[in-house]
């Protein structure tokens, strides 16, 4: 295993005031000059290579919005993450922190980025991640209302919230450029993306078509413009609790995101064929009930991973 950074560019700032700041414990203030060169737009990659991989192509794991690569390593309740399940399945795996997230670092605003990022509250995540209904979160864990049969380990929800990072939702072009650079560097790969990362994986299958051998988009949040040609094999995976909005049920926002993805699928499936399938797994429709927006963090994470590994064996060579 090794890690490296990739993509991005140099930005030069000037005309900013020089500060006097104490920067070390017990030290005295020193001059800090913010004018100069910065690296901006890079991403962070952890590369895990097996001694004897059983598949020719590596898998890239692309996290969702407001997340980093950490949730592929371990689930929020401390179980083994998909990273390790995929390595055990014989794949080399590369885990990313996308531009501006986690170890990839972010750049100052308003001088480089236009403005401040968004942060996610636990209240929003509780329903956006479809753990429970809108208003189901309370600070007191004992009073929270989750969906019956919820696969997300609700006792680990606060621990899970420690993983969330700030995100700039208008920065898709920056992130997609870095992913293009990663794919060019890797050569050819399978991409498994979650949520925002699922949409990026679908975009990459169009932008970097010769580098993407297959796409697995887990609950894609956002999709590119509809395809007009044959794409690499795609698998779209959806969890549970997409019922129409009601006082108890989700979720106007997710209903609209899923409708966007459904429209994309309807356009893409016209170009699908035996070697280029465009498949959708609706987990409840397959008898797998209760999944949240984060199947790789849910109690049945190994079961969902096995479905995907099986699909890859059949459809991604």
Residue in 11, 41, 37 with CA at minimum distance from that of residue 180: 41
Question: Does position 270 bind a second copy by CB under 8 A?
Answer: no
Q: Would you count residue 46 as binding a second copy (CB under 8 A)?
A: yes
Q: Does residue number 44 form part of the binding site for a second copy (CB under 8 A)? A: yes
Q: Rule CB under 8 A: is residue 121 a binding residue for a second copy?
A: yes
State which residue, 124 or 277, has the beta carbon closest to a second copy.
124
Q: Position of tokens 């679908």?
A: 202
Smallest distance from the beta carbon of 128 to a second copy, in angstroms? Answer: 9
- Is 2 near a second copy (CB under 8 A)? yes
How many Å apart are CA 105 and CA 99, to the nearest integer?
Answer: 7
DSSP helix/strand/coil, 62: strand
User: What is the number of alpha carbons within 13 Å of residue 270 lying toward its C-beta?
Assistant: 9
Of residues 78 and 90, the one with the C-beta less far from a second copy: 78
Q: Cα–Cα distance between 105 and 85 in angstroms, integer?
A: 28
Q: d(Cα 190, Cα 205) in Å, to the nearest integer?
A: 10
CB of 177 to a second copy, least distance (A): 14
Contact 250, 242 (CB under 8 A): yes
Work out how close the CB of 275 gets to a second copy at its nearest, in angstroms, rounded to a whole number.
27
The CB-of-106 to a second copy minimum distance in angstroms stands at 7
Tell the residue number behind the tokens 């990022």, with chain if given: 117
CA distances, 104 to each of 68, 94, 202 (Å): 9, 14, 22
Q: Give the nearer residue to a second copy in terms of CB position, either 238 or 311.
A: 238
Phi, psi of 127 (to 5 degrees): -95, -35
Binding of a second copy by 114 (CB under 8 A):
no
Residues from 207 through 246 that contact a second copy (CB under 8 A): 221-225
Contacts of a second copy in 144-163 (CB under 8 A): 158-159, 161-163
Strand, coil or helix: 241? coil
In the list 113, 145, 164, 177, the residue contacting a second copy (rule: CB under 8 A) is 164
Chain Cα centroid distance, residue 43 = 13
- What x/- string results for residues 173 through 202 when contact with a second copy is judged by CB under 8 A? -----------------------x--xx--
Least separation in angstroms between CB 122 and a second copy: 4
Nearest approach, Cβ of residue 6 and a second copy (Å):
8
- Closer residue to a second copy (CB): 19 or 155: 19
């Amino acid at each position: 295993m090794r890690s490296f950074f990739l993509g991005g560019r140099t930005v030069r700032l000037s005309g900013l005031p020089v500060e006097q700041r104490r920067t070390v414990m017990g030290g005295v203030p020193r001059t800090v000059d913010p004018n100069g060169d910065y690296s901006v737009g890079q991403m962070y990659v952890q590369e895990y290579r097996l001694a004897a991989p059983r598949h020719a192509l590596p898998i890239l794991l692309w996290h969702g919005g407001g997340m980093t690569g950490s949730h592929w390593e371990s689930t929020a309740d401390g179980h083994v993450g998909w990273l390790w399940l995929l390595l055990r399945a014989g794949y080399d795996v590369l885990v990313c922190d996308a531009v501006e997230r986690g170890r990839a670092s972010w750049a100052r605003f308003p001088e480089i980025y236009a403005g401040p990022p968004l942060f996610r509250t636990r209240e929003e995540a509780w329903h956006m991640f479809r753990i429970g209904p809108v208003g189901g979160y309370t600070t007191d864990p004992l009073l929270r209302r989750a969906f019956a049969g919820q696969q997300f380990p609700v006792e680990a929800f606060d621990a899970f919230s420690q993983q969330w990072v700030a995100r700039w939702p208008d920065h898709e072009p920056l992130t997609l450029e870095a992913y293009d650079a990663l794919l060019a560097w890797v050569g050819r790969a399978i991409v498994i993306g979650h949520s925002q990362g699922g949409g990026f994986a679908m975009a990459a299958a169009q932008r970097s078509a010769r580098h993407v051998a297959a796409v697995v988009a887990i609950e894609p949040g956002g999709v590119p413009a509809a395809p007009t040609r044959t794409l690499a094999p795609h698998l779209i995976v959806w969890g549970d609790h997409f019922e129409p909005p009601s006082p108890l049920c989700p979720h106007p926002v997710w209903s609209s995101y899923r409708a966007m993805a459904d429209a994309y699928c309807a356009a893409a499936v016209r170009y699908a064929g035996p070697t280029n399938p465009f498949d959708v797994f609706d987990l409840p429709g397959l008898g797998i009930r209760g999944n949240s927006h984060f199947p790789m963090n849910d109690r049945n994470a190994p079961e969902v991973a096995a479905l995907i590994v099986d699909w890859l064996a059949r459809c991604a060579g």
